[in-house]
Structure formats: structure tokens, C-alpha cells
Amino acid sequence: MAPPIGADQLLRALRGEGLHVVEVGAWRSRNRNHMGPWGAVHGVMIHHTVTRGTAHTVAMCRDGYSGLPGPLCHGVIAKDGTVHLVGHGRANHAGLGDPDVLRAVIAETRLPKDDEATVDGNRAFYGFECENYGDGEDPWPDVQLDAIERVSAALCRFHDWGAGSVLGHLEWQPGKPDPKGFGMDWMRERVAGRLGTAVPGPLPVPQRPRVDLSLLVAAALADRYRPGAPVSYAGTRIVETALVDEGLLSKRWSDGHYGWETVAAYSRWQERLGYKGRAPGQAADGTPGMTSLKRLGDRRGFDVAA
């Protein structure tokens, strides 16, 4: 999490990275801040413009177009590598995107597939539009690719980020194709090389929760007779969440207390499995057994220890 870079700081950071920068009009005060917050910022997003001609591209990114007012980014990276600054503040460039991608950018791990559009990216990212028609055939000159690398590195260097804080629009919002014509993994490798840091590694493997059967049984036998909402074993909440997801327990009773509501819900789970007898481990009495608990864990993503 970081507050956005100041306008003068941005100018110094870009020029300090060896970039040729053009200031377009009153770019320091041009933004969409009245539509929502800008920051905390978490990364740098790269786009292509689907335009031809630098003058036209810069004007469009500064002013926007019908239905999408400008600025549409913070800077335009032209074919010749020049960076045209058109805004400072919230800009209409990222739109809504995937919360899992945002978490991966913050953690600087390899990005997951974007399949949701629920999080405000205009708040969270710097945006740079790159002059390119976006058809996969319009070339990307070496000097432009070098500028994309330097722009990304400049902001990462300022915020002490690694190359994992750089992403493409296509990695953020489902259905977006930009930038088209080069790979973002390849660009992140270039940025990492410039920064002298490692490229993002694989996503960590999530650990499945584990429920201790003996502790859960003790809670099931004791808590139902205790007033209030005691939490004698934290794993009870894992089981209650699973029962809620199965439609067997009202969410209001998912409180970590193995009370009578949880007993009744677990009894309904045992009945669903066909438990009818009275013998221990076979009765639908609401007290967990290894078989019924493992079946619930297999369905709802937790492991069971004896």
C-alpha cells in the first residue's frame, strides 16, 4: 500500500530513468478525483490505444471521448519512446477488475487468471497508454518497448516495488486484449532486469484448514449445554461454515459455538448421509464422527485429524 507519487516526483522519476518526457497542458491538475479516490496505489498498468498518430492519440487520452471522459491514463508512451504526461490523479483507464489479481499484485506473486470485475482499478493503479493499433500487426518499435520498461521501472523504483507490480489491462479485466503484440511476462522480466530484482514466483499453494475431531466432539458434547456463545474450539467455525454452505445451518448461528442449532444442523447432515441407527458413529445425533466429518470436509475443503 502506498500513497500516489506527487506530480513533481513523477516527472523527476521518469526523467531520472532516462526518458524523454513532454508535459501536456495542465496535466498536474487534470484528473477524475471528483468521481472517487485515487490511492492507495499498488502497481503500474500497461494498455494499448487502438489509435494511429501521436498527436491524435495524446489528445484522445487527455480529453477522452463520448461516454468516457479523460484523462484516460497518466501518460502516453508514443512510438518514438516519448512519454506524454496527460493527467495526475484518478484516471479512466483500468475500470473494474479481479480482486484475486489485485491481491497477487500486492504480494508480487504470479498473477492468476482474471475472471471477475468487481474491484476499482482506477483507484489502485497508474495507467500508461501505449500508441499502437492493437491488431497484433502494428509493430512495437524497440525504443517504445524500452520506454515501457523504463516507465514501469521508474514507478517501481520510487515505491520500492518489484516487477510483480507491473501488469497489463488484459491481466486485470476479463475480455480486455491489451497490450497486444508482446507478452507481459516478457516485459516483467525486462523490468526486473532493470531493477536488479527477481521476477514474480509461483502463487503460494493455499493450505486447507484442518479440524481436530477429538476437540470438535468435546465442543459438541459440552457447548450445547452451556449458556451464551462459548467458543471452546476454533475449528467449530470451520464446520459451521461448511454446514451453512450446505444449506443446513442459518448463517446467524455460525458463531464458533457448537450449540443446539449446530447440533441440529449436523444431525441433518448425518441424515443426508443415511445415518438412522442408534449405535455410536451411526446415529444422526449431531455429534461428529470421523466418516461424516471427512465427507463434509471433502465437499467443503477442509481436512480432518483424529
Task: Give me the architecture of the 7-195 domain, per CATH.
Answer: 3-Layer(aba) Sandwich (3.40)
Distance CA 269, CA 286 (A): 8
Is the alpha carbon torsion for 56, 59, 62, 66 positive or negative?
A: negative
Distance CA 254, CA 240 (A): 5
- For residue 8, name the pLDDT band (cuts at 50, 70, 90): very high
Residue span(s) of the chain under CATH 3.40.80.10 come to 7-195
What average pLDDT does this structure show over 215-222?
A: 93
Residues 6+ apart with CB under 8 A from 139: 181
Beta strand 75-77 pairing with 68-69: unpaired
Q: Pick from 154, 143, 181, 183: which is nearest to 167 by CA?
A: 183
**If DSSP codes are grouped into helix, strand and coil, which group holds residue 105?**
helix
Distance CA 146, CA 174 (A): 27
- For residue 208, name the pLDDT band (cuts at 50, 70, 90): confident
**If DSSP codes are grouped into helix, strand and coil, which group holds residue 130?**
strand
Distance CA 241, CA 254 (A): 6
| pLDDT tens, position by position, 132-189 | 999 999 999 999 999 999 999 999 999 999 999 999 999 999 999 999 999 999 999 9
Q: Is residue 206 over pLDDT 70?
A: no
Distance CA 50, CA 177 (A): 11
Distance CA 227, CA 273 (A): 30
pLDDT of residue 229: 78
| pLDDT tens, position by position, 25-59 | 999 999 999 999 999 999 999 999 999 999 999 99
Q: Tell me, yes or no, if the pTM score tops 0.75.
A: no
Q: Is residue 198 over pLDDT 80?
A: no
Distance CA 253, CA 153 (A): 50
Distance CA 12, CA 50 (A): 29
| pLDDT tens, position by position, 232-261 | 898 999 999 999 999 999 988 999 999 999
Question: Are the C-beta atoms of 74 and 127 separated by less than 8 Å?
Answer: yes
| pLDDT tens, position by position, 118-146 | 999 999 999 999 999 999 999 999 999 99
- For residue 86, name the pLDDT band (cuts at 50, 70, 90): very high
pLDDT of residue 283: 73
- For residue 227, name the pLDDT band (cuts at 50, 70, 90): confident
Distance CA 218, CA 212 (A): 10
